[in-house]
Amino acid sequence: MSFIEIPHTADVRIRAVAPTLELLFTDAFDALMLVLFGKDRSDSGRKKQICIEAADPESLLLDFLSEVLYVSEVEGLVFSHAGITLSGNTLTAELEGEPFDKERHSAGTEVKGISYSGLSIRHDTNGYMLDIIFDV
């Protein structure tokens, strides 16, 4: 996990740093799950595959995290792992997790959505850096 929470007046702002885009997207996924459900998450064999296409990396990440949030809420799943593959403008993710358990998964904060505002992915010789805001 290579992300930190940066102070924000009303929402949760995350900064992640990773050597590859796949790992950057994985860190953003991990940050979202941590904010939503806390640390007590495991893999009970529940799997879900997601495939997303978008015009650019920022849109791809936003659409991916929005879909994870939707699936988590609608299907009552708490994900512990995402195997992410990027190919051009297409993302494929194999999510692993477990059903929501009120006793174990209530340590987090409700996330209403993922914000385009403040979303940026930068690349330099050291790798990638992401700033993203979760609307709470």
pTM > 0.75: yes or no = yes
Task: Tell me what the mean pLDDT of segment 107-117 comes to.
Answer: 91
Half-sphere exposure of 54 (CA within 13 A, CB side): 17
Which residue from 130, 136, 133, 132 is spatially nearest to 16, judged by alpha carbons? 130
CATH code of residue 114:
3.55.10.10
pLDDT greater than 70 at residue 59: yes
**Separation of alpha carbons 89 and 72, rounded Å:** 23
Domain residues for the domain of 37 are 3-135
What pLDDT shows up at residue 8?
A: 62
What's the number of domains the chain is made of?
1
